[in-house]
A and B are shown apart, each in its own frame.
Chain A
Amino acid sequence: MNKITRRQALGTTAGTLSALGLLGAAAHSATAASPAPAAPAGTVDEVFQGRRIQISPATGGGHHGGHHGSDLPTVRIDGRELHVMRNADGTWISVVNHYETFADPTSLARAAVRELQGAQLAPFAPMGGAA
């Protein structure tokens, strides 16, 4: 495999966002149910059923549903990253709800919160059983 792994790709996304100060901006918008005014479109920072959901939008490429990880948003629940993927038809799945599709990252994150029933996500670690 010469393709970059999703972990590397997502790591790049997070790093880029950090460099731009966007992660910090999202964090400082605290528990607001709607995006802070200065946040880019797609930014979410809300509390749902007592869990904090933070979504930083994709930064990359613009290739629709592309294989570059930077085309994916970063979704966190109480600070832990949720592994998410976008389907070819534009719907979303996560590692917590893998066999069921959702219309957008917020619905996906809320479904994960319901499924977790208060549990913490495991550390984000794509394992590349592929490797």
Chain B
Amino acid sequence: MTVRKNQATLSAEEKRAFTNALIELKRTGAYDRFVTTHNGFIMSDTDSGDRVGHRSPSFLPWHRRFLLEFEAALQTVDAKVTIPYWDWSADRTTRSSLWAADFLGGTGRARDGQVTDGPFAYATGKWDINVRVDGRNYLRRALGAGVAELPTKAEVDAVLSMPVYDMAPWNSSSNGFRNNLEGWRGANLHNRVHVWVGGQMATGVSPNDPVFWMHHAFVDKLWADWQARNPRSTYLPAAGTSNVVDLHDTMRPWNNVTPADMLDHRKFYTFDTEPAAASQR
């Protein structure tokens, strides 16, 4: 059973295995197909039209499925690799070990935002940005520049205590847990983290930065934490809602998976914070 771990607890060997698997997927072209898929949904998900990956109830199950597919791809390279999660409410500075040269590398240089250390620096020749919104083919970051502070534990707690999953009009103007977590409303959790990292992470091609997966693994964990804290709450809407994915509707681009299929993460993996017994189910 796959166990997703807090990135701060990874051994040097585990960090190396993860970054090596990323680089191998980049080399084969598999990685860039995930970036293309994500940007396609970013540009087609609209508040008043069909919306699947973002600004809609299926934001969470869509990204859970997207990460599962990516994790499976990583495991074709190295079966031991799982997606670590980045708890940005705890590891909240540019000095975090996450940004060290032996893991993701650090912020970009002032002149052009280029990341110049770590395994994803352009100079390695192994991490060209091919799916892009502008001409720049190197990984960029501007940690803490677009917004100064990452979300706090108190802000996360407040969102986790919202009992209703989502509400009409089921878009970026909704109240409820999903939209406060996604960040179009309230304290702004998920969106703010994209802006805090900056560079490609602030754009539609955000998966170009490997931290995308670790950010979304934590957003995914927060969904599971919310379920544990609100056991009588469930995914909404249930049925008959136009333009959005109801509980038993299938999600593009897979067309064979529904939010209902994604509700229990323990069918696929556990988090390192959960009792070992849970992983035996």
Contact = CB atoms under 8 A, between A and B. Distances in A.
A50 interface: no
B207 to A, nearest CB: 11
Contact of A100 (B38, B40, B134, B146): B146
Contacts of B184: 87, 101
A62 interface: no
Interface size, B (range): 35 or more
A63 B134 CA distance: 31
A103 interface: no
Interface string B156-176: 000000000000010111000
A127 B36 contact: yes
Interface string A58-83: 00000101110000000000000001
Contact of A129 (B39, B135, B191, B202): B39
Interface in A82-96: 83, 85-89, 95-96
Contacts of A6: 43-44, 46
A128 to B, nearest CB: 5
A66 B47 CA distance: 8
Nearest to A87: B172
A95 B171 contact: no
A116 interface: yes
A117 B191 CA distance: 22
A25 B174 CA distance: 40
B210 interface: no
B146 to A, nearest CB: 7
A20 B82 CA distance: 55
A28 interface: no
A115 interface: yes
B49 A83 contact: no
B190 to A, nearest CB: 8
B202 A100 contact: yes
A130 to B, nearest CB: 5
B29 interface: no
Interface in B181-210: 183-184, 190-192, 194-195, 202-206
16 contacts: A3-B49, A3-B50, A67-B46, A88-B48, A97-B202, A98-B194, A99-B191, A99-B192, A99-B194, A100-B147, A100-B195, A120-B134, A120-B135, A122-B134, A129-B37, A130-B44
Q: Lowest 8 CB-CB distances: which A-B pairs, in order? A: A129-B40, A67-B49, A99-B194, A129-B37, A88-B173, A99-B191, A88-B47, A95-B204
Interface of B: 36-44, 46-50, 52, 55, 112-113, 132-136, 146-147, 169, 171-173, 183-184, 190-192, 194-195, 202-206, 252-253
Given A88-B171, A95-B204, A98-B42, 10 more contacts: A66-B48, A67-B48, A88-B47, A95-B39, A95-B133, A97-B202, A98-B206, A119-B134, A130-B40, A130-B52
